Amino acid sequence: MPRTFPVSLAEAFPTVAATWHPTRNGSLTPDRVGTGGPMMWWLCPAGHEWEETVISRRSLPKWKAGDIAACKECVGFKTRRVFPGCGCVKTVRIGTREAEHAKCFNCRTREFEENAPRVKAELSAAAKASASRAGELLDAVRLPDGMPEGLAVEWRYWAVKHLQYAIAGEQVLGKAGETDRTVERVTAAAGQAVPTLDACAEAGLRDGVLNIFGRAHWADGWWHALGGETGPVASAEELEEFTGALVTVLELWAERWPADRPVPATTAEVTRALTLELRGFLQELTGEGGRVYAELQVPVIPEGAGRYGRVDLLGRAGTGWSVVVEIDSRPNPASAQKLEFVRDAGAVPVWVRFGAGPVLDIDGVAVVDARALVRSLTDRG
């Protein structure tokens, strides 16, 4: 049978072919496979045997030190280990965590999958029980000078969860040193977390978002909080024009509600429906290159809250200007505080109100009274 490869392993890499296992590869031989062959067995002159793909075997990584036919065990890069917990014999890299486990990776994985429900329950219980210890460890971490109080709260909220599960990992999974490693990681994260004006500017040129402790933050809001110059506040005439356009959009939304679609009956359903409609409006408004975000955090702590607030929707045009929308069924003071911050940061703040309670007038904020049109829609149900 004619071969399907231009050159065989034996022809291209004779020294590698010399380590071909003579008995464990069936009828295949080095002159019957190409240089990109499948997983095969190999045998070095010292008697070490292992499985490896042909393309990996004939590569030349640093550990081979120029000898393409080198054996990982012979050069001390890896060693053969009998795992005492499962009896498996594996070649592991010297100095790695894998070489310290009682069981090999495959056995640990299989055992975890078989016991996943129980292990997860034990991890969750151990994590909850470790809250006090995690808090004590975090109390000992010195936060950077000048770190905003709200950011310190966000860091602790994020760090304590990681630390609780690190402690639980040591207790349930036997991950030695996991707590110390996690303390080092969250401490390093605290030292790098405080945004700078340069970071805000860079984010503004990119997508307008800063990633802080796994959460998306409004970069322009941080620019303002850090003392950067912001654009002019929208004039009363501009806000009035914008409010009128938005009212028209919502009137059409209520008027054209499909007859075959269930009418929103609860506050949560109305909020979801309004959010979906206004998200589409912002996507069209910001145009090509624009972005719309939901639940984006802003660096302001509403009165009575312990953490930074989040805005319902933020539309950011490619040219940098932004529109922020809050949707409420009641006159929420926290929303008013967030929108005042948004106004001062140079974006267009919009408060869409439906449901009970008065509609408050806030200087510099476009307030949309959607009570009547939402009522006209829900009454159809």
Kindly state whether residue 199 falls inside one of the protein's structural domains: no
Q: In this structure, are 141 and 253 located in the same domain?
A: no
For position 231, what pLDDT does the model report?
77
User: Is residue 253 a part of any domain in this protein?
Assistant: yes
Q: Among 20, 45, 76, where does a domain finish?
A: 76
For residues 144 and 71, membership in a common domain is answered with no
Rounded to whole angstroms, the Cα distance separating 140 from 194 reads: 19
Rounded Cα distance between 33 and 58, Å, is 13
Provide the pLDDT for residue 221: 95
Structural domain includes residue 201: no
Written as tens digits, the pLDDT of the chain (381 aa) is 456 678 999 999 999 999 999 999 999 999 999 998 789 999 999 999 989 999 999 999 998 999 999 998 898 888 888 899 899 988 888 878 888 888 998 998 898 888 889 989 999 999 999 999 999 999 999 999 889 999 999 999 999 999 999 999 999 888 889 999 999 999 999 988 899 999 999 998 889 999 999 999 999 999 999 998 887 888 888 899 889 999 999 999 998 998 888 999 899 999 999 999 999 999 999 988 899 999 999 999 998 888 999 999 999 998 878 999 999 999 999 999 999 999 999 999 999 999 989 998 899 999 999 999 999 898 876
**Per the domain annotation, does 228 fall within a domain?**
no
| Owner of token pair 């496979």 | 33
- Number of residues that make up the chain: 381
Question: Do 123 and 67 reside in the same domain of the chain?
Answer: no
Residue 97 lies in a domain: no
Residue 16 located in a structural domain? yes
Do 127 and 66 lie in one domain? The reply is no
Q: Are 153 and 215 in contact (CB under 8 A)?
A: no
Please give the pLDDT value at position 1: 45
Q: Which of 138, 119, 134 is nearest to 167 (CA)?
A: 134
Both tokens of 101, joined, read 């486990």
Whether 280 and 332 map to the same domain: the answer is yes
CATH number at residue 374: 3.40.1350
My answer on whether 65 and 167 are in the same domain is no
Q: By CB neighbour count within 10 A (0-12 exposed, 13-18 middle, 19+ buried), where does 33 fall?
A: buried
* Both tokens assigned to 228: 């950067």
Residue 252 shares a structural domain with residue 374: yes
Burial category of 355 from C-beta neighbours within 10 Å (exposed 0-12, middle 13-18, buried 19 and up): middle
For residues 176 and 245, membership in a common domain is answered with: no
Q: Examine residue 148 and state whether it is found in any structural domain, yes or no.
A: yes
Consecutive H or E run containing 39: strand 39-43
Same domain? For 17 and 130 the reply is no
76, 93, 128: which is the final residue of a domain? 76
User: Is the torsion defined by CA of 128, 143, 141, 200 positive or negative?
Assistant: positive
Domain boundary among 156, 175, 191: 191
Specify whether 343 is located in the same domain as 279.
Answer: yes
Q: Is residue 88 part of a domain?
A: no
At residue 75, the 3 state secondary structure works out as: coil
- Pair 51, 57: CB distance under 8 Å: no
Verify that 240 and 176 share a domain, yes or no. Answer: no
Same domain for 257 and 370?
A: yes
**Bridge partners for 208 per DSSP:** none
What domain range is 63 assigned to? 9-76
Structural domains counted in the chain: 3
pTM of the predicted model over 0.75: no
The counts of H helices and E strands in the chain are 14, 11
SS3 state at 253: helix
Cα–Cα dist 44/259, whole Å: 76
Tell me the C-alpha distance between 111 and 363, whole Å: 62
